[in-house]
Structure 1
Amino acid sequence: MVLSHANSITRGDSVASTFASRYVREQLPRYRMPERSIPREAAYQIINDELMLDGNPRLNLASFVTTWMEPECDKLIMGSINKNYVDMDEYPVTTELQNRCVNMIAHLFNAPIKEDETAIGVGTVGSSEAIMLAGLAFKRKWQNKRKEQGKPCDKPNIVTGANVQVCWEKFARYFEVELKEVKLSEGYYVMDPVKAVEMVDENTICVAAILGSTLTGEFEDVKLLNDLLTEKNKETGWDVPIHVDAASGGFIAPFLYPELEWDFRLPLVKSINVSGHKYGLVYAGVGWVIWRSKEDLPEELIFHINYLGTDQPTFTLNFSKGSSQIIAQYYQLIRLGFEGYKNIMENCKENAAILREGVAATGRFDVLSKETGVPLVAFSLKDSSGFTVFDISENLRRFGWIVPAYTMPADAEHVAVLRVVIREDFSRSLSERLVSDILKILRELDARATHAVRVSSTTAAQSGDGIVAKKSVLEIEREVAARWKDAVDKKKTGVC
């Protein structure tokens, strides 16, 4: 949820629409409910006009979230948009589809499920909720064990890398768990398993490993973490488990890197979360958390309700939510199958390789992302003296591209990068076009930087003591802008 701030930059605090004026002759209040109703056509036109100023989701290369699905799935989504998922007794088939998804994903992650058993897991609104639920399970299980041993249980902690997504910080702050972060270093932007295990103590409820870092897409070495933590548990008598945050990589690794051991094949991995709305290929609003066994999910965290018809177990942070994304996930799983997902992930990987080659061929960037991992390309400028990656990011918006620029976390803050996420709907032609637009921007920024240096040298100011002090580029830009503004303000007639 984004905190809202009132920001009125038009005349008054009202909303107007050109076409809607055929129906509405009065301006609507912006931050207050209008007194009277308006025609549905007018309401649609007003909102549609404002939404045109949003970016194009297909060109939003900042996001891992799916922006395209097949028309048949769109129909299923619209047909079930009025179903409340929590009403399990009223919508038993929807509940069954969720259970099928949980079991399919659990088998994909090699959960040790016997023939007469069903998988333990739940659908969520995304990986953030999934991580909260998994974290609560670890915390409660740790607390119960500490109470049995007669030891204090008021200072739990989680060990992660500094590259974790912000939802881990939210969990730690909301549920009063200390977050112990392994710092990054230049050239190594994932959690170091050796350093992570060194930070583990008797109050550690779990170590969180990331399968697909948000920063560079790299997979952390869960196998090494499991081996090192197993040794430490034997030495200390502790039983510290592992959670794998596979929000981005959970629907990639099984298809592209089946031999990679990161999931329930490792005995210390007790739970895994994955985002269905990322490489699970579903629109925003669905995630999954899977537990290794019933013993890893404390029974006291599961609530039972009966006022909607029958006894219904529930373990979620929210209550009501739509059924559409659950149904859409089931559609993708049976529509694509293992073969379909593999083909799509291979195509994404190939398109990422093409973009990586194009970016590297400019000679202006260092590519920081690895070839193995989430299909994305993260790259930094070799020389930032004339302009920065933030300037490139801002200029790319002129062409419709939304490409984020950001600095790395603690101990690597001086490294600033651009990141392009390759999704199913990002084609090779778009990749080539993006590189072409980046080259255009580089030439423009080069010319602007050169011009600024020339202007700076010819407009050097003489100080009072006779020392020549050159104006900075920023000072010159502000001075030029001020002069142009003054000239425009004085202009009364003619074309502007």
Structure 2
Amino acid sequence: MLPRSVSLGVFRVSLARGRARRCLNRRMANSDDSVLFGNRFLTMPAPSQTFPEQGMTATDAMRLVDVDLAMEGDPQRNLATFVTTWMEPEAQRLIVENLHRNFIDHAEYPISAEIEQRCVRMLADLFHAPGRTTGCRTQGSSEAIMLGALSLKWKWRQRRQASGLSADRPNLVFGGDVHVVWEKFCRYFDVEPRIVPLAEGKYTIGPQDVEPRIDENTIGVVAVLGTTFTGHKDDVVGIDALLRDVRTKRDLDIPIHVDGASGGFVWPFLYPDSTWDFRLEQVRSINVSGHKYGLVYPGIGWLVFREESDLVEDLVFYENYLGKTDATFTLNFSTGASMVLAQYYNFVRLGRQGYTYIMKMMQDNARALADNLRDSGRFEVIGSDLEQLPLVAFRLVGENAYDESDIAWQLSAERGWMVPAYTLPPNAERVKILRALVKETLSREQVDRLSQDIADACRTLDHKGATHGIERNQVKRGTGY
């Protein structure tokens, strides 16, 4: 026989369960079905045109947004984006716990400001800055590029004015392989863009492209490290040699800004002996996206200068209305501190060894995907024998009744993969390619599954033909890079 205390305990548990069951039954009898099975927006349109008169419960609001987001693609199968789609649980916790911190408020959050500068110093070391330097976090590489290019323009204007020359016709030289933000800068800040066109088989730029476009009004030359289109780099070494020669022979000091949005966190670990950074004399500033291969969620970018003097002092503002005098060099003001802290987390969590391991793992899987596509006999893989981001850029070869856009549509609509198809910039726009980012979460098993899905998509299209209105019956592709 059970002791009395145990019997009483069992009785109390049974009684409590009975009360809970009766309470549940009353709630079921007195409430509408939406409490149990969903919310009213299962049968009503979501608010979209006018500001709602009444609110709703937190659970209803969460369900409403979740139902909308369920229609989006799976970020883990998104091979189009360079942006990070996964972080460790510890990093996610750090982000969530610090979403309320306004990074710009250095008086209240001085440790966040110090951690930003730790990251800047670590990046300066990674990029071989020769001495004391400066830099800042940005909302992404777009803001970093705007700030870096503004400093190029103002430094050029200072040089011109010091020599008693006019400063009303600035120009900037870059290739057609740049991100659109460079054209935005030129339009927004009244700078003439001198764009080097690409060509089929030539998807980056070098000194021979730059030389005829520079003059006394050139504020700088942009070199890309890891292009959005094919993942390769411009000939930074050759451009640097050209500009050093121009400095000596023509007394024109034209700096280089390296757009390392994607490649700045790849080349130091995959190609440590490749020279592209502050080891080259004319490289004066570098931007990099922490939310790409820096392995942090969006949005975080970085701008690092070679020396403190490369940042024009007139672009720095001083204010004290947040409690202490602060220097600000940003286009944005208020922003969360979470991603700065997450970037620092990655730096100390991974170190050089960890970043190298992850980049090589992604590179190995990219090479496996490239081999699978090449071996299929259907595709040309573009430039996989060169220094390249962990991605595969590929295009159809031979005669086909469909093109790359049809394959992208098949992969998305029927197999759940997001693989972009696009044409290259002028004068290479006749070249259409597919591009698959191979990121940290894409395993070798998934690489093989993707390869099989691409093969299946092609077989489906062999039977039913194009779905995107190709004007000609046959699409012919070359085989040379």
Band of TM-score, shorter chain: 0.7 to 0.9
Question: Which of residues 407, 410, 416 in structure 2 aligns to 1:392?
Answer: 407
Equivalent residue, structure 1, for 2:392: 377
Work out whether 1:271 is the aligned partner of 2:285: yes
Counterpart Cα distance in 1 of 2:279 and 2:328: 27
Q: CA deviation at 1:331?
A: 0.2
- State the Cα distance separating 1:449 from its structure 2 match: 3.1
Using the TM superposition, give the Cα deviation of residue 150 of structure 1 relative to its aligned residue in structure 2, in angstroms. 1.7
Counterpart-to-counterpart distance in 2, 1:49 and 1:370: 41
Structure 2: distance between partners of 1:133 and 1:396: 39
Matches within 5 A, 1:153-168: 153-168=167-182
| 2:450 equivalent in structure 1 | 434
1:248 aligns to what? Answer: 262
Q: 2:437 aligns with which of 400, 415, 421?
A: 421
- Deviation readout 1:109-150 (Å, 9 max, x if unpaired): 00012xxx4x30000011100000000000011111111222
1:58-105: CA deviation from partner (whole Å, max 9, x where unpaired): 111001111111000000000000100000110011111101000000
Q: 1:17 to 1:28 in 2, by over 3 A?
A: farther
Decide whether the 8 Å contact of 2:46 with 2:64 is kept in 1: no
Query: Number of residues paired by the alignment?
Result: 435
Q: What SS does the corresponding residue of 1:29 show, helix, strand or coil?
A: coil
Say if 2:138 is the partner of 1:124.
yes
Aligned counterpart, 2:28 = none
Note the alpha carbon deviations across 1:142-193, whole angstroms, 9 max, x for none: 1111112221111111100101001111111111111111111111101132
Q: CA 1:24/1:341 → structure 2, altered by over 3 Å: closer, same or farther?
A: closer
1:51 pairs with 2:51: no
Query: Do the aligned partners of 1:216 and 1:370 also contact (CA within 8 Å) in 2?
Result: no
Structure 1 residue identity aligned to 2:395 = S
Q: Is the CA contact 1:24–1:38 (under 8 Å) kept in the aligned structure 2?
A: no
Equivalent-residue separation in structure 1 for 2:46 and 2:373 (angstroms): 47
Q: Does 1:300 find its partner at 2:314? A: yes
Instruction: Determine the structure 2 residue equivalent to 1:108.
Output: 126
Query: In structure 2, do the counterparts of structure 1 residues 309 and 472 end up closer, same or farther at CA, with 3 Å as the change threshold?
Result: closer
- In structure 2, C-alpha distance between the alignment counterparts of 1:340 and 1:29, rounded to whole Å: 46
Question: Please, which of 239, 242, 252 is the counterpart of residue 253 of structure 2?
Answer: 239
User: What do the CA deviations read for 1:244-285 (whole angstroms, capped 9, x no partner)?
Assistant: 001111111111111111000101000000010111110110
**In 1: Cα distance, 2:472 partner to 2:286 partner:** 52
Structure 1 residue 236, shift from structure 2 partner: 1.2
Alignment-derived partner of residue 3 in structure 2:
none
- Please tell me whether residue 367 in structure 1 is matched to residue 385 in structure 2: no
Q: Is the 8 A contact 1:216 1:378 kept in 2?
A: yes
Q: Tell me the TM-score normalised to structure 2 length.
A: 0.87
Instruction: Please list every run of 5 or more consecutive structure 2 residues that lacks an aligned counterpart in the other structure.
Output: 1-33, 475-481
Corresponding residue number in structure 2 for 1:336: 350
Secondary structure of residue in 2 paired with 1:250: helix
Q: Aligned partner of 1:413: which letter?
A: E
Structure 2 contact 300–340 (Cα < 8 Å) conserved:
yes
Matched, 1:82 2:82: no
**Candidates 248, 256, 259, aligned match of 2:273:** 259
Structure 1 gap ranges (5+): 1-15, 451-470, 475-496
- Give me the whole-angstrom Cα distance separating, in 1, the residues matched to 2:172 and 2:404: 33
**What TM-score does the superposition give when structure 1 sets the normalisation length?**
0.85
**1:274 aligned counterpart, secondary structure:** strand
- The correspondence for 2:202, drawn from 171, 188, 204, is 188
Q: CA-to-partner distance for each residue in 1:29-79, whole Å, 9 max, x for gaps?
A: 322111111222111111110100011111110011111110000000000
CA distance 1:60–1:239, change in 2 (3 Å): same
Identity of aligned residues (%): 46
CA distance in 2, matches of 1:406, 1:122: 33
Q: How far is the alpha carbon of 1:423 from its aligned partner?
A: 1.2
Q: Deviations over 1:414-437 (max 9, x none)?
A: 110000011111111111100000
In the alignment, what sits opposite 2:165? Answer: 151
Alpha-carbon separation, structure 1, partners of 2:222 and 2:35: 50
Aligned residue in 2 for 1:204: 218
Distance 1:27 1:215, change over 3 A: closer
How far apart are the structure 2 equivalents of 1:422 and 1:292?
31
Q: CA deviation at 1:394?
A: 0.5
- 1:156 touches 1:205 (CA, 8 Å); kept in 2? yes
> Is this contact kept in 1: 2:378–2:396, CA < 8 A?
yes
Does the CA contact (< 8 Å) of 2:76 and 2:85 recur in 1? yes
Q: Per the alignment, in what secondary structure is the counterpart of residue 263 of structure 2?
A: coil
Q: Distance in 2 between matches of 1:430 and 1:38?
A: 41
1:292-336 CA-partner distances (Å, limit 9, x unpaired): 111111111000111111111010001000101000000000000
1: CA distance, partners of 2:454 / 2:427: 29
Checking the alignment, whether the CA contact within 8 Å between 2:246 and 2:253 is kept in structure 1 is no
Letter in 1 for 2:63: Q
1:1-28 superposed Cα distances (whole Å, 9 cap, x missing partner): xxxxxxxxxxxxxxx9995435898644
Partner AA of 2:359 in structure 1: M
